[in-house]
Structure 1
């Protein structure tokens, strides 16, 4: 018995000692507040893991509270049965336990809620210490009567100690027992070291007091368990009948030598006594029997009180952080000690339900697994924080060692599945489901956890590896620099870029603030907060880059040069179409034109987006930060504000408000959110006029995979190379597209060399008559002819991609170039004029 018994005690306490060391490491890395293991895990590892473990631990504390009270009830009923001739309250032991248990629970709850829990704890501790001293003294003195000997207590001897060395598992409550079931039953008894961590908010100096108190409690408990196990193994026989007469007859015959060989102490049936059968055997070895009873009462009620104190505090901490919906009512505290009365009420209700069940043995394995998971996560939090190499992780605990924490993780994980793998699977599934739920809610918490630090470490490592990786056409990703100004000004441009980059590549939103004087840090921070807020509300993952310069051209050039890092840098610049090109100042048009030229000079691809209704809504809508401030005033309750924010994410009219404060007209909302809306059906037309490396084909393919355009089909229009066999050219293009694995519904050959119709020429001459561009009419014919084809074929399309004309330096003036773009996009659905940098982005190879 003492062999595997000591292994059980040592293994259980090893797990708790390692976990306590990990917990102490976390405690000594900063100020600890209320919330126990929830606070420590959530602030160290991540809020999601902390909330999951914290909530499950709170429930586990309620169950353990009920289990200890049920143990107390069983002891009371045993005393009533022994001292009052089988007296019962109702005649049903189960109902008797329920009545006594509920009464005890209510009394304990009243004591705790009155703030007298600590006084009760100290009282129980004194009684428990007295009971242990009483028992040890009695064992040392030995049995004082043959009645005690006949019931199995024969006094301490090494021979009996050796005899009890091996295991002897017997069925209990109809269940077969083994080492693992015994460990599962014993393990909850060593989890009391968390009692201090559960009330960290009430400690004067938890950073220093908690590690010291926790480690001392584990060591003291371990020594106590070992001493009692050794004394029991050397002083009691396993089975005894309690027949005093038979015992005395045999003992007198053998002259009281090796009395444990007495048949009375080796019975096979009708064995009601002995250390393995009599749950009250310890009273035989005590010097004062009633004190043993009180010690048992004190142990059970002390553990129940600790759970009653800790569970509400942890629930209150979880509720304050607003991780779970519907728990806000439990965040309230009352009185000078901020007592969580609502949380006390819930703890009382849950514990009462468990007491009404009475038989909790069936969930012991699950409870043990929940604790092992909690301990494993605590160890992982310390291990992960040590491994993140974050400069902010500076624990003052001198026994900090990540490999010890790793050992704790291994022991907890192995223990779960070695003991009862079915229960391990069920409890693990429960933890994973709750974790995924919290993860899905995306709690807004920024506590500087090791998970955040590890993200930086991982990215830094991967960026280094990416830098050493050779470029290959199969791994190409379109990376965008979007010159959108402040994100709230041009929402459709941001949404369109997001269609290309979402989940596959980087998007940098660039804003050039034209200013003759340097921007102040305060103003820059305001713009950054405002821009990031807008991106978040739009559901866009992008990086904001803001700089100030005297000219747009120089600012854009700086953005092109400095945006990104290593190979994660934009290679495509996306700008909005300049609607007022024909009426704006020469300087403004020249700057716009130079930005496009500069991008081509820096070997970047260029995209220009034009949409009906325009892209710039800065004169119509409120900036997002102003809107959020108004929402904060109108919604006093934080929970209502968060709910309002969630609705903003789903409905465009909730994000964008008119500058007057009212709702925007529906037509404006439709313009703003056009790329958020799902298209029922239609075409994405690609006018592939020149070979630019394949970017003009790749971008439509990417967008056609998005949910907004998944119902649309791609049509390819390409320019005939000659007036010869057009059917052959069409077949060649179909074959090429299939080898590129580009899905398409139709391939159409066009010819832009034909002369444009007179009506188109006159319309163009009229539109540019005030710009002195008449001498360039002949060079514009291909674009006029292309406009005719666009109006014939793509007027009803959902989206159009057109190869962007190349602005030839010194040969194309800004007005002429913009007149070409006007021809290609006027009165048409959303158009992207795109031109690659001649770098291949499509390949035949697998």
Structure 2
């Protein structure tokens, strides 16, 4: 394996180091147009104290995000796409796609921000008669051509720009130091906001100045060692530029009155030791930031297109030359930037970019938080200075600042995010990489299981956890179907198959049987789990399933099986019923009437009947019948309770008692009282009068040696037309709960 391949770079591509590939573009993007053209206004309106808080607050968000970026970048083989790659390989393709779109638009629009800033400085320095937008367009074309030639050329240009920028900052500090005074500093400590402005509008205006931490991350596909360069270069740039902004805020507040800071756009040039160096610095900063964004944005689009999330973006995945330069994506980026130049201005564009970057940073922090809190064993970043609490704090700060800046734009950004997430989710993209979703689901399941283990059982929390002895399911599909109907999406269904033989010899066959059963479940669209065991005979297999299947609070509480009159299995059938009840499981036995015509869209015609003889099994029958009616195909079937009573019984009192029971259970049903000395004959007559689709009948398991008598007792019921569901309750259901 070559070094390039090991670090995720393509053969023949660029191999930039920490300084050239991360520190330089990050620093140049951070020390951009806002520093020279708008930072004086921020200090003037907010006051020196609040300006320092704005810088520290903005830097805190980017620093916390840098911790998350460093952790994720040192935990995976980083390839092209920057933040999109990191998030898509952590939170999944849906979140990654959302961030790809937000980050790409933010950076493409940032090009316009920096070009507008350059043009503003150019017009303020040189007396020209050309229109502002024409000059901005020419600059945008020049930036586009530099990047279109290739990233290698652009990086070399940026070394020279960095030198000019450092000299311009030193020039400002050298000029501000002798002009500073304690009196001016004290006078500028507190805010002097213009009408309609506030701390948070100033924060929104300033925040794009610190968003450059993605400039290095977006070059991930062109780095020699992304796992080392991204954290080292990003932290160095954040700390270096943070020191510059804090020192500039102090010297601005100490060298000029607030009125001048607010209304003079290029106040930095007036203060500096050499105005020429400031002019050169403004040009260098704005051009370098524009170059950095013009380089980074197309690489995000190229990586997103390469994952084939949206087929229409597929052409942008193509790269040019041995370095796979994203030239098609660069053209689109140029057009977006040009549109923003024509439509916008510096103060209008900055808050929108802030919102897009806030979403990106918040999601990056969320990704790292979820990786840490779920304690995913695969999350083993080489960067040790991180903790899930820092990532959570970063995510919450991003969300809070979004709404504090502008509630409407924050809500719009989140709605767009949800819409894009849903669009990608509906596309059902099959990602070829692992993400956090399965790990997060596992950890949630673990927490829930441990909580259930500590909770005392209460009938109010009863849910059907059904183990269906359905065999391969395709041969007894009706049992799998009934198991899902009776759970109605409220519980857990397991479809069990027993293979006969020695487990050591049948390992391969067992695995294959489980794979086929799982595929059948998916093809049928059932919410169920496969359970396959190997035992010497059916009886031992059932014992194994009853003892071992399930975990904690989601062990099966109900066993579902088919009705059997096979003389060879009558004894086993009876023993299984007794074993289930002895182990505290309720039992549901389905006699499936194959004479009834059916289709996948509708249930058999007729009502859902409950043969109510006593309340012990009746409570579970009523609840299961209610759950069946929650399924779409059973929703319009009437629920009827058939109550056989002696002819001289108090029918009104019995009806009132049953009505009260139904009211207590919050279940609607028709009560049919059948006065009779022969309940079975009354049942047959009622079935002739009102055919049923399914009939629930209570039973008790037969005593040992009385299995054939048990079959004979229930044969007249199981021969009725329609499905018969025999129910034996373990007593853990209470209708009033």
Is contact 1:128–1:296 with CA below 8 Å preserved after alignment? no
Is contact 2:468–2:480 with CA below 8 Å preserved after alignment? yes
**Residues 12 and 750 (structure 1), Cα distance of their counterparts in 2 relative to 1, 3 Å cut:** same
Give the secondary-structure state (helix, strand or coil) at the position aligned to 2:380: coil
**Residues 470 and 9 (structure 1), Cα distance of their counterparts in 2 relative to 1, 3 Å cut:** closer
Is contact 2:488–2:628 with CA below 8 Å preserved after alignment? no
CA-CA distance at 1:342 after TM superposition: 4.5
**Residues 393 and 235 (structure 1), Cα distance of their counterparts in 2 relative to 1, 3 Å cut:** same
1:219 and 2:239 are equivalent in the alignment: yes
Is contact 1:552–1:592 with CA below 8 Å preserved after alignment? no
User: 2:587 is matched with which residue?
Assistant: 606
CA-CA distance at 1:295 after TM superposition: 2.9
Q: Distance in 1 between matches of 2:721 and 2:242?
A: 81
User: 1:717 is matched with which residue?
Assistant: 642
Write out per-residue CA displacement over residues 147-169 of structure 1, whole angstroms, 9 at most, x where no aligned residue: xxxxxx99534357536633564
Pick aligned residue for 1:373 from 359, 363, 377: 359
Pick aligned residue for 1:842 from 726, 734, 737: 734
Q: Distance in 1 between matches of 2:503 and 2:489?
A: 38
Q: Distance in 1 between matches of 2:670 and 2:210?
A: 69
User: 1:37 is matched with which residue?
Assistant: 83
1:464 and 2:450 are equivalent in the alignment: yes
CA-CA distance at 1:545 after TM superposition: 1.1
Structure number, greater radius of gyration? 1
Pick aligned residue for 1:493 from 476, 479, 486: 479
1:687 and 2:603 are equivalent in the alignment: no
User: 1:195 is matched with which residue?
Assistant: 215
**Residues 345 and 611 (structure 1), Cα distance of their counterparts in 2 relative to 1, 3 Å cut:** farther
Write out per-residue CA displacement over residues 652-693 of structure 1, whole angstroms, 9 at most, x where no aligned residue: xxxxxxxxxxxxxxx8xx54x3xxx35698521222345443
Pick aligned residue for 1:112 from 130, 137, 147: 147
* Deviates most, 705-714 or 408-417: 408-417
Pick aligned residue for 1:186 from 186, 206, 209: 206
Give the secondary-structure state (helix, strand or coil) at the position aligned to 2:179: coil
Give the secondary-structure state (helix, strand or coil) at the position aligned to 2:552: coil
1:358 and 2:344 are equivalent in the alignment: yes
1:158 and 2:181 are equivalent in the alignment: yes
Question: When the two structures are superposed, what TM-score results if normalisation uses the length of structure 1?
Answer: 0.73
CA-CA distance at 1:395 after TM superposition: 2.6
**Residues 466 and 402 (structure 1), Cα distance of their counterparts in 2 relative to 1, 3 Å cut:** closer
CA-CA distance at 1:348 after TM superposition: 3.2
Write out per-residue CA displacement over residues 90-117 of structure 1, whole angstroms, 9 at most, x where no aligned residue: xxx4xx41x4444443443343344x23
1:386 and 2:372 are equivalent in the alignment: yes
1:798 and 2:693 are equivalent in the alignment: yes
Give the secondary-structure state (helix, strand or coil) at the position aligned to 1:212: helix
CA-CA distance at 1:313 after TM superposition: 2.3
Q: Distance in 2 between matches of 1:521 and 1:325?
A: 42
Is contact 1:198–1:313 with CA below 8 Å preserved after alignment? yes
1:541 and 2:527 are equivalent in the alignment: yes
Pick aligned residue for 1:514 from 489, 495, 500: 500
1:824 and 2:720 are equivalent in the alignment: no
**Residues 328 and 689 (structure 1), Cα distance of their counterparts in 2 relative to 1, 3 Å cut:** farther
Pick aligned residue for 1:123 from 157, 161, 165: 157
CA-CA distance at 1:722 after TM superposition: 6.3
**Residues 64 and 492 (structure 1), Cα distance of their counterparts in 2 relative to 1, 3 Å cut:** farther
CA-CA distance at 1:435 after TM superposition: 4.2
Pick aligned residue for 2:301 from 315, 333, 345: 315
1:280 and 2:259 are equivalent in the alignment: no
**Residues 603 and 408 (structure 1), Cα distance of their counterparts in 2 relative to 1, 3 Å cut:** closer
Pick aligned residue for 1:60 from 88, 106, 112: 106
Pick aligned residue for 2:707 from 792, 796, 812: 812
Question: When the two structures are superposed, what TM-score results if normalisation uses the length of structure 2?
Answer: 0.83
Give the secondary-structure state (helix, strand or coil) at the position aligned to 1:570: coil
Give the secondary-structure state (helix, strand or coil) at the position aligned to 1:34: coil
User: 1:653 is matched with which residue?
Assistant: none
Counting only pairs closer than 5 Å after superposition, residues 360-439 of structure 1 correspond to structure 2 as: 361-435=347-421, 438=424
**Residues 531 and 8 (structure 1), Cα distance of their counterparts in 2 relative to 1, 3 Å cut:** same
Write out per-residue CA displacement over residues 105-135 of structure 1, whole angstroms, 9 at most, x where no aligned residue: 3443343344x23422431342342244156
Write out per-residue CA displacement over residues 714-753 of structure 1, whole angstroms, 9 at most, x where no aligned residue: 1111332566455654454344433433311242326473
**Residues 732 and 236 (structure 1), Cα distance of their counterparts in 2 relative to 1, 3 Å cut:** closer
Runs of at least 4 residues of structure 1 off by over 6 A? none
Q: Distance in 2 between matches of 1:282 and 1:567?
A: 68
Give the secondary-structure state (helix, strand or coil) at the position aligned to 1:548: strand
Is contact 1:478–1:572 with CA below 8 Å preserved after alignment? yes
Is contact 1:125–1:302 with CA below 8 Å preserved after alignment? no
CA-CA distance at 1:597 after TM superposition: 4.6
CA-CA distance at 1:198 after TM superposition: 1.5
**Residues 488 and 446 (structure 1), Cα distance of their counterparts in 2 relative to 1, 3 Å cut:** farther
CA-CA distance at 1:593 after TM superposition: 5.4
Q: Distance in 2 between matches of 1:730 and 1:181?
A: 70
**Residues 43 and 429 (structure 1), Cα distance of their counterparts in 2 relative to 1, 3 Å cut:** same
Counting only pairs closer than 5 Å after superposition, residues 118-267 of structure 1 correspond to structure 2 as: 118-134=152-168, 136-137=170-171, 140=174, 156-159=179-182, 162=185, 165-167=188-190, 169=192, 171=194, 176-236=196-256
Q: Distance in 2 between matches of 1:737 and 1:157?
A: 84
CA-CA distance at 1:406 after TM superposition: 3.8
Is contact 2:119–2:135 with CA below 8 Å preserved after alignment? yes
Q: Distance in 1 between matches of 2:232 and 2:460?
A: 58
